[in-house]
Amino acid sequence: MAGLLYLPRIYVYHTKAKIGSELDSTLQVMELKLLRFIMNPAIISTFIFGLINAHIYGFVALDTWFHVKMFAVLILVIFHGLLARWRKDFANGKNVHSEKFYRIVNEIPAICMIVAVIMVIVKPFD
């Protein structure tokens, strides 16, 4: 989760760096390492432990709160993929998004996290 919150912030700084500069190179390394060594293993382990948890405690797929939570998780998975694609755009010098864009999308994981936690704790549609 930390990577989903931090990587867009790095992109905000990266939009200010000139292509080919030392800062550009440093940020590219940071982005790649964050994705490859923290975010990708985290998303894989999240899926594995989620399936184990579902197997142990049983699926509650008929409950509406579960569907809302899973929709928030789906948005986070899609967001993860978009972050990886945007990293490649920066690496190829083809970023088309502004600093403001990355500041706005930086709020997506926080909103999804809040929705998912509220659904699990409160279960408002039971």
Q: What is the pLDDT along the chain (126 residues), one digit of tens a residue?
A: 889 999 999 999 999 999 999 999 999 999 999 999 999 999 999 999 988 988 887 766 678 888 899 999 999 999 999 999 999 999 999 999 999 999 999 999 999 999 999 998 998 877
Instruction: Match 């998780």 to its residue by tokens.
Output: 73
* Domain residue extents for the chain: 2-122
Q: Quote helix, strand, coil % in the chain, to nearest 5.
A: 80, 0, 20
Q: Which positions make up the binding site?
A: 69
Q: Which positions make up the binding site for heme?
A: 69
pTM of the model: 0.91
Give, in degrees to the nearest 5, the angle at Cα 72 between 68 and 75: 135
φ/ψ of residue 69, rounded to 5: -60, -45
